[in-house]
Amino acid sequence: MSFDNAYEAIMEGSDETHWAFGTGFTDALSGVDRAVPSDVDSGDLATYCLMLGDDALVLSQRLSEWCSRAPELEEDVALANIALDLLGQARMLLTRAGEIEGAGRDEDALAYLREEHEFRNVQLSEVDCGPGPGGDFATTIARLLVFSSWRLALSQRLVSSRDPVLAAVAAKAVKELAYQRDHAAQWTIRLGDGTEYSRERMIAGLDRVWPFTDELFTAHPVETRLAAVGVAVDPATLRSEVDGVLDTVLGAASLDRPTVGSLSTVVGRDGAGRGGRDGVHTEAFGYLIAEMQHIARSMPGATW
Amino acid sequence: MVTPRAVAESVCDPELPVLTLADLGVLRDVAVHGERVVVTVTPTYSGCPAMDEIRADLVAALDEAGYHRAEVRTVLSPAWTTDWITDDGRRKLAEYGIAPPARRGLVRQGPVPLNLTPPSRLVRCPRCDSPNTTELSHFSSTACKSLHRCADCAEPFEHFKDL
Higher pLDDT, B1 or B92: B92
Average pLDDT for A50-76: 95
Q: What is the pLDDT of residue A37?
A: 76
CB contact under 8 A, A175 and B79: yes
A207-233 exposure pattern, b = at least 16 Cβ within 10 A, e = fewer: ebbbbbbbbbbbbbebbebbbeeebbb
The structural architecture, per CATH, of the domain A37-298 is Up-down Bundle (1.20)
- Identify the band that residue B86 occupies on the pLDDT scale cut at 50, 70 and 90: very high
What are the chain A neighbours of B46 within 8 Å (beta carbons)?
Answer: 85, 88-89, 91-92, 169, 172-173, 176
Q: Which residues contact B3 (CB under 8 A, 6 or more apart)?
A: none
- pLDDT of B119-159, one tens digit each? 767 899 999 999 999 999 999 988 899 999 999 999 999 99
Q: What is the pLDDT of residue A6?
A: 43
pLDDT above 90 coverage of chain A, percent? 77
With CA atoms as reference, report the closest residue to A91 among B43, B69, B140. B43
CB contact under 8 A, A88 and B75: no
Q: What is the pLDDT of residue A249?
A: 98
Q: What is the pLDDT of residue A224?
A: 96
pLDDT above 70 coverage of chain B, percent? 98
Distance from CA of A89 to the nearest CA of B (A): 6
CB contact under 8 A, B114 and A181: yes
CB contact under 8 A, B43 and A88: yes
- Identify the band that residue B108 occupies on the pLDDT scale cut at 50, 70 and 90: low
- Whether A220 and A277 have beta carbons less than 8 Å apart is answered as yes
Residue A130 backbone zone (phi > 0: left; psi -120 to 50: alpha; other: beta) = left
Q: Distance between CA A235 and CA A300 in Å, rounded?
A: 37
Distance from CA of A187 to the nearest CA of B (A): 9
Q: What is the pLDDT of residue A30?
A: 58
One-letter amino acid at B109 equals: Q
Q: Which of A19, A176, A248 is nearest residue B45 as measured by Cβ atoms?
A: A176
Q: Is B56 on the interface with A (CB under 8 A)?
A: yes
Q: Does position A25 have pLDDT exceeding 80, yes or no?
A: no
What are the chain A neighbours of B112 within 8 Å (beta carbons)?
Answer: 152, 156, 174, 178, 181
One-letter amino acid at A229 equals: V
Quick one: closest CA in A to B50, which residue? Answer: A20
Q: Distance between CA A158 and CA A231 in Å, rounded?
A: 8
Q: Is B53 on the interface with A (CB under 8 A)?
A: yes
In whole numbers, what is the pLDDT of chain B averaged over residues? 91
Quick one: closest CA in B to A242, which residue? Answer: B111
Average pLDDT for A79-93: 96
- Identify the band that residue A17 occupies on the pLDDT scale cut at 50, 70 and 90: very low
Among A10-14, A78-82, B27-31, B105-109, the minimum mean pLDDT is found in A10-14
Superfamily of domain B4-74, CATH level 4: Fe-S cluster assembly (FSCA) (3.30.300.130)
What are the chain A neighbours of B144 within 8 Å (beta carbons)?
Answer: none
What are the chain B neighbours of A31 within 8 Å (beta carbons)?
Answer: 40, 71-75
Distance from CA of A16 to the nearest CA of B (A): 11
Q: What is the pLDDT of residue A264?
A: 66
Q: Distance between CA B6 and CA A267 in Å, rounded?
A: 58
Query: Which residues, numbered 19 to 38 in chain B, qualify as contacts with chain A under a Cβ-Cβ cut-off of 8 Å?
Result: none
CB contact under 8 A, A17 and B56: yes
- pLDDT of A165-219, one tens digit each? 999 999 999 999 999 999 999 999 999 999 999 999 999 999 999 999 999 999 9
Quick one: closest CA in A to B109, which residue? Answer: A156
What are the domain boundaries of chain A? Answer: 37-298
Q: Distance between CA A204 and CA A166 in Å, rounded?
A: 35
Q: Distance between CA A210 and CA A144 in Å, rounded?
A: 12
CB contact under 8 A, B56 and A92: no
CB contact under 8 A, A88 and B45: yes
Q: What is the pLDDT of residue A179?
A: 95
Q: Distance between CA A300 and CA A289 in Å, rounded?
A: 16
- Identify the band that residue A11 occupies on the pLDDT scale cut at 50, 70 and 90: very low
Q: Distance between CA A38 and CA A43 in Å, rounded?
A: 13
Average pLDDT for A123-144: 91
Q: What is the pLDDT of residue A5?
A: 44
3-state secondary structure of A36: coil
CB contact under 8 A, B136 and A74: yes
Quick one: closest CA in B to A172, which residue? Answer: B79
What are the domain boundaries of chain B? Answer: 4-74, 97-101+119-160
- Whether A237 and A217 have beta carbons less than 8 Å apart is answered as no
CB contact under 8 A, A89 and B57: no
DSSP B129: -
- Whether A155 and A232 have beta carbons less than 8 Å apart is answered as no
Quick one: closest CA in B to A166, which residue? Answer: B76
Q: What is the pLDDT of residue A131?
A: 86
Q: What is the pLDDT of residue A88?
A: 94
